[in-house]
Amino acid sequence: MITVCLATYNGEKYLKEQIESLLNQTYKEFQILALDDCSTDSTINILKFYNIKTLEIEKNNGPSSSFSTLLSHALNDTKNHYFMFCDQDDIWEKDKIEKEYKLMKEQESLYPNTPLLIHTDLTVVNENLEKISDSFIKYQNLNPSQTKLNKLLLQNIITGCTIMINRELALLSSPFPKEVIMHDWWIALVATTFGRIFYLPEATIKYRQHNSNKIGAKGFNIQYILSKIDKKHTLQKNYTQTTLFRKRYKNDLTTKEQDILDNFISLQNSSFLKKRVKLFKYQFFKHGFIRNIGLFFKI
């Protein structure tokens, strides 16, 4: 069984459209499990109208905590073998589940009992579903092949609402630490270290951009670059997330992986020169020449 984990919070404006896109999927063998993060609008009533099983909590904790709770709950049922993460304001293409499930099964036949992650591209749209870009990957100047551990420590390129993971990866990555930057980033780190990541170069979601987006798509253009020039570059959240990862999986890491993690964490206490030596030695780079120039001079 595939479980779609739907996190909601004051989502009444777009939630019906998203749910309808789920119900219109070409692949039907899935269930929706929702968690509402203490909404104060009509979100709960919408979920009840569609008869969606919903977990309710007493305190607002944010999206990563919501998805962690959803995944942990879904894992309690051993019939659930695949998991997807759904935001409340996007639109899923009708064959999203079918395409990702097909690729997942193909890769599982090649890599049995292996933690696997499938992710895809997205179409970037505005609040009225008018197209901004055919490709989120191109819009943000990302390279989907750069999913090695040393690259993912600095920059995540896997968008949570596009992914499907199998039970092996879900069990290994759950629960997510409260201090993670985002749940999809944590899952990506686990997948690249202990399993495999596969990219489907198709847009399976209309990724809606609006004023309430917690995290959105920013076009990688001259305006974006100029907006970053005066901002201080800090990797403190990256260091914290990596430290948590190193601590949890310390007994399962290879010597090489431990070395990569330790040297990344040590950047925060290294001198100006040693930081830059480590950046080059371990290829702690972001995506694209311009981003790395900024990293080199501002870290």
pLDDT tens, 1-30?
A: 999 999 999 999 999 999 999 999 999 999
Which of 226 and 93 is assigned the larger pLDDT? 93
Q: Are residues 35 and 148 in the same domain?
A: yes
For residue 292, the model assigns a pLDDT of 74
* Position 137 in a domain: yes
- Number of domains present in the structure of the chain: 2
Pair (74, 198) in one structural domain: yes
- Comparing 295 with 46, which gets the higher pLDDT? 46
Say if residues 47 and 36 touch (Cβ distance below 8 Å).
yes
Averaged pLDDT, 152-160: 96
Give the pLDDT score at 118. 98
**Does 257 lie in the same domain as 138?**
no
CA distance 168 to 173: 9
Q: With 90 as the cut, is the pLDDT of residue 166 above it?
A: yes
Domain for residue 9, yes or no? yes
Residues 230 and 123 in one domain: no
Position 30 scores a pLDDT of 98
Q: What percent of the chain has pLDDT over 70?
A: 92
pLDDT digits (tens, 9 = 90+) for 221-275: 444 444 444 455 679 999 999 999 999 999 999 999 999 999 999 999 999 889 9
Distant-in-sequence, close-in-space partners of 83: CB < 8 Å, separation ≥ 6:
2, 3, 4, 5, 71, 74, 164, 165, 166, 167, 170
pLDDT surpassing 50 at residue 36: yes
Q: Which of 101-110, 114-123, 281-290 has the lowest mean pLDDT?
A: 281-290
**Residue of higher predicted confidence among 109 and 215:** 109
Mark whether 102 and 163 lie in a shared domain: yes
Decide if 214 is inside a domain: no
The residue assigned the tokens 């090649």 is 110
What is the Cα–Cα distance from 33 to 121, expressed in whole angstroms? 24
Overall pTM surpassing 0.95 (yes/no): no
Q: Are residues 112 and 6 in the same domain?
A: yes
**148, 174, 208: which is the final residue of a domain?**
208
pLDDT of residue 289: 73
**Do residues 114 and 240 share a domain?**
no
Mean pLDDT, the chain, integer: 92
Domain end among 185, 208, 231: 208
Query: Taking the chain, what is the end-to-end CA distance rounded to the nearest angstrom?
Result: 45
User: How many Å separate Cα 224 from the centre of its chain?
Assistant: 22
Q: Which two tokens stand for residue 269?
A: 């206490």
Residue 215 lies in a domain: no
The verdict on 165 and 68 lying in the same domain is: yes
Structural domain that includes position 178: 2-208
The mean pLDDT of 106-112, rounded to a whole number, is 98
Phi, psi angles (nearest 5°) of residue 199? -110, 130
Dist. CA 96–CA 162, nearest whole Å: 9
pLDDT, tens digit, 9 for 90 and up, residues 112-150: 999 999 999 999 999 999 999 999 999 999 999 999 999
Q: Residue 118: name the closest of 137, 99, 146 by CA.
A: 99
- What was the pLDDT predicted at 228? 47
Tell me whether residue 35 is in a domain: yes
| Statement to judge: residues 38 and 131 lie in one domain | yes
Last residue of a domain, one of 162, 186, 208: 208
Task: Give the 3-state secondary structure of residue 251.
Answer: coil
Calpha distance 149→152 (Å, rounded)? 5
- Is the pLDDT score of 212 beyond 80? no
How large is the average pLDDT for residues 78-86?
A: 97
- Asked if the structure places residue 238 within a domain, the reply is yes
Identify any residues that bridge with 53 across adjacent strands, giving them in sequence order: 33
Residue 186: inside a domain, yes or no? yes
Query: For the domain that residue 69 is a member of, what is the CATH number?
Result: 3.90.550.10
> What pLDDT does 122 receive?
98
Could you tell me if 175 and 268 lie in one domain?
A: no
How confident is the model at residue 264, as a pLDDT?
96
